[in-house]
Every structure is written in structure tokens, then in C-alpha cells.
Amino acid sequence: MRIVEETTPDEALAAWPAIHDHLAARRGGCVGNTPGMWRLNLAVDPPGWRDGATARRLVEVPGRGYASYRVKGAEEGLLPAGEVKVAEVYATDPTAYAALWQHLLDVDLTTRVTTWIRPVDDPLPHLLADPLALHPAAGPPLYARILDLPRVLAERGFATTGSACIEVVDPDGPVAGRWYLDVGDEVVCEPTAAEPDLTLAVDALAGVVFGSVQPTTLLDAGRLAEHRAGAAIDLGRLFAVDRAPWSPVMF
């Protein structure tokens, strides 16, 4: 049963933002698109943007996922060797995600599929019959600078309860000082004069808060100082996430 369908820019503009919102609710650091960016990415497609490829193609599993891509024709000898240039693939459930990738991998007269800005825990390698055919490459990370620690933590979800006293080194910055974090029925983060459990610099803080960097990794690298034995392990458990943080939106 075929569940992937072609769609139009107007139909995509009406339906796809809700799917993206579902993604944003499941992954920390996911930045949303403005209405103008949605229109730019879906309805604006001048030939000068195509690099010799087709016009943008839009497909979806209605209400559950979507993909945007182009196809660039090529030959090697007398054999077709086209490329599928994937811009976006998102889905709300594994079945829709697998169906979209199956569609992209089955495009006629192509031998290569390329994409970029995928999450580090993308399930795609585990969908392939030959995972060695995939050639991932690490790109530059997204750097985040926290300006309002209490607000960030109050809006972050936690899977467990606990508390910690964190000292942040932020010279002349808004996050400098010691912070008491208590995660229970509510999340409380407030300045404190208590002795810290651990100390880290502000440039390492976002990775811990978003769950992309383990405090124990920073401890081993000398980027975090532990003042109570086991504090880094405890903090890592408190900030653990089900899925790695990821922002698919360029800004």
C-alpha cells in the first residue's frame, strides 16, 4: 500500500507547519520557521536556485510526515547516475518516516541520495539493508549561549526529579554565579550562596542543559570541576533526554 503522495506548495503550507511543531515538541533546540520562511522554502523556487536539478518536489504522508527534494540527472558511461538532493524529511511516527525515505531511495535513474543537517541519532542508518552504503560526515555544531538560565530550565522538560547546585563561570555575563536547581512538581532555579556541587563555564552550559553533552565527558576533558563525588553523574541523569537536540532550521 502506497502511503506517500505528491502535494502542492499551497497544500504543504497549510499542513506541514503542524508536523514541524510535533518535531519541535520532541527535540530540544528545534527552532521554528516563520510564515515567510515556510513560503520561501515551499513556494519560491527560481531556476537559479536549482543548480541544474529539477524544480522542488514535495511529497507527504498526509498529516504524518513530509519530504522536499530535487533530482539532478547525470550519467556515468552510458548508465544513469542521477542524484536525489534531499532538503527536508520529517515525520511524526516511524512508519511514515520509513515510507518517506523509501520513496526517496526509489527515485528512478538515480544512484545517489544526499542530504544534510540530520540529527546525530537519526534512525536512517538502521533502516538501510546495507548501513555501510551510508557515508555520514560531521558538520559544525550549533552553538547556543544561554542568557536566562531560570527561564530555560523552567521551560525544559525533565524525566526525573532531583536537585543540584551549579556554579557557572560567565565573566561579566548574565548567567554568572551559583544556581540552585530543584526539579520536582515544579522546576525552581534561583541564585544561591550554597557551596556548588560542580562548576563549569558558560560555553559548556548549553550542551549540558540541552542534553547533547554528558557532564562526565566535560569532567574527563577538564571542562567541568566536580566538588562533590558523583555530582557529574547525577547531573547527567537529571538532564538526560530521549532524543538528541537538533535544529533543522538555518538561521
Dist CA 210 CA 225 (whole Å):
19
Residues 157 and 219 in one domain: yes
In sequence order, the 6+-apart residues with CB closer than 8 A to the CB of 137 are: none
How many structural domains does the chain have?
2
Q: Is the pLDDT of residue 248 over 80?
A: yes
User: In whole numbers, what is the pLDDT of the chain averaged over residues?
Assistant: 95
pLDDT exceeds cutoff 90 at 249: no
Tell me: do 9 and 68 sit in the same domain.
yes
Q: Higher pLDDT residue, 83 or 30?
A: 83
Specify the CATH number for the domain of residue 79.
3.40.630.30
DSSP string of 87-146?
Answer: EEEEESSHHHHHHHHHHHHT-TTEEEEE-----TT-SHHHH-S-GGG------PPPP---
Beta strands 75-76 and 110-114, pairing class: unpaired
Model's pTM, two decimal places?
Answer: 0.89
Together in a domain, 129 and 169: no
Interval 188-246: pLDDT, tens? 999 999 999 999 999 999 999 999 999 999 999 999 999 999 999 999 999 999 999 99
Domain range for residue 166?
Answer: 149-238
Supply the pLDDT for residue 124: 96
How many other C-beta atoms are found inside a 10 Å radius of the C-beta of residue 120? 12
Beta strands in 150-215 (DSSP E): 162-169, 177-183, 187-191, 198-201
Query: For residue 52, what pLDDT is reported?
Result: 95
How far is Cα 114 from Cα 126, in angstroms, rounded to an integer? 17
144 part of a folded domain = no
Domain boundary among 133, 167, 185: 133
Q: Which residue has the cell 543537517?
A: 117
pLDDT tens digits for range 100-147: 999 999 999 999 999 999 999 999 999 999 999 999 998 888 889 999
Share above pLDDT 90 across residues of the chain, in percent, rounded to a whole number: 87
Q: What is the pLDDT of residue 141?
A: 82
Helices (DSSP H) in 135-193: which residue ranges?
149-154
Mean pLDDT throughout 158-187?
96
Residue 157 has pLDDT above 80, yes or no: yes
H-state helical runs in the chain = 9-26, 35-42, 94-105, 124-127, 149-154, 202-210, 215-220, 231-238
**Band of pLDDT at residue 86, cut at 50, 70 and 90:** very high
The verdict on 33 and 127 lying in the same domain is yes
In a domain, 245, yes or no: no
What share of the chain has pLDDT > 70, as a percent? 99
- pLDDT tens per residue, range 42-53: 999 999 999 999
**pLDDT band for position 29 (cuts 50, 70, 90):** confident
124 in a structural domain: yes
Among 133, 168, 199, the domain-final residue is: 133
Query: Quick check: is 243 in a domain?
Result: no
Q: Are residues 195 and 165 in the same domain?
A: yes
Domain holding 220: CATH number? 3.30.1050.10
Contact (Cβ atoms closer than 8 angstroms) between residue 142 and residue 43: no
Taking alpha carbons only, the member of 147, 165, 170 closest to residue 231 is 165
Answer yes or no: is pLDDT of 1 > 70.
no
Segment 45-70 shows an average pLDDT of 97
